[in-house]
Amino acid sequence: MLEIVRVPVLSDNYVWLVHEAQSGETLVVDPAVAAPVLAAAEARGWTITQIWNTHWHPDHVGGNAEIKAATGCVITGPIGEAERIPTLDAHVRGGDIVHLGKLFATVIDVPAHTAGHIAYHFESEHAAFVGDTLFAMGCGRLFEGTAAQMFDNMRKLEALGDDTVIYCAHEYTLSNARFAVTVEPKNADLTARMVDVIALRERGEATVPTTIALERATNPFMRATSVEELAARRAAKDAA
């Protein structure tokens, strides 16, 4: 029931346009900038009615004010970061429900990249918008949280089920893959995925969204078996 469109902006960001046809509502997830997002919606005849933010970083909220001025949309984001996102109209936390037309998503607390980071999970649509928490073969840097929190995040997202499609906010996959193969050089699934990713990027094609199944098989952070192992892998990736 959802039509989801990827809008590439800046150097490697993805903004997601999410359209629910029955109601005619259109949602923007994490607009870094406004103009390309407004243009993408207009090209499809869609009217933006909502923005959902996952965290406060400027490359996720930078388009909020301009899109709201152009459309009158309602902006929802994490209550824990309300002071850092002054454009918010509605504040949510883990366990809350947000609606797009007749569909609803559950808010999941996923702190670590930022202290109040959240994700949005449409269970009925097998889709989750995770901001900078989980990437294809990667995870977000631990700017405001701990490895223990990120390890817990991996368990929460893993529990959404293998068929859940993961919409993250950056095209980091090739860099992540190059690191991942150093962690698990004998992982055949990972080696095969690396080949696929190289081919996609050589053609200038996107490598996301991904799925929980793919990440369980190839993501060194989701595959970490302890907090200490995840912490060591994150430190090594940061230094790479």
Report the C-alpha gap between 40 and 30 in whole angstroms.
15
No. of H helices and E strands in the chain? 8, 14
Residue among 19, 60, 117, 121 flagged as catalytic = 60
Please indicate whether residue 19 is annotated as part of the active site.
Answer: no
Residue among 19, 30, 57, 121 flagged as catalytic = 57
Please indicate whether residue 30 is annotated as part of the active site.
Answer: no
Question: Residue 102 phi/psi, 5° resolution?
Answer: -90, -5
Closest CA to 47 of 10, 14, 19, 87: 19
Report the C-alpha gap between 137 and 97 in whole angstroms.
28
Residue among 55, 109, 121, 152 flagged as catalytic = 55
Please indicate whether residue 170 is annotated as part of the active site.
Answer: yes
| Rounded CA Rg of the chain | 17
- The one-letter amino acid at 4: I
Please indicate whether residue 113 is annotated as part of the active site.
Answer: yes
Residue among 19, 30, 109, 113 flagged as catalytic = 113
Residue among 109, 117, 121, 132 flagged as catalytic = 132
Ordered DSSP codes for 136-163: TTEE---SSS-HHHHHHHHHHHHTT-TT
Residue among 59, 109, 117, 152 flagged as catalytic = 59
Question: Residue 99 phi/psi, 5° resolution?
Answer: -115, 145
Ordered DSSP codes for 164-216: -EEEESB--HHHHHHHHHHH-TT-HHHHHHHHHHHHHHHTT-----EEHHHHH
Residue among 19, 117, 121, 170 flagged as catalytic = 170
Q: Are 18 and 27 within 8 A, CB to CB?
A: yes
Please indicate whether residue 60 is annotated as part of the active site.
Answer: yes
Return the active site residues: 55, 57, 59-60, 113, 132, 170
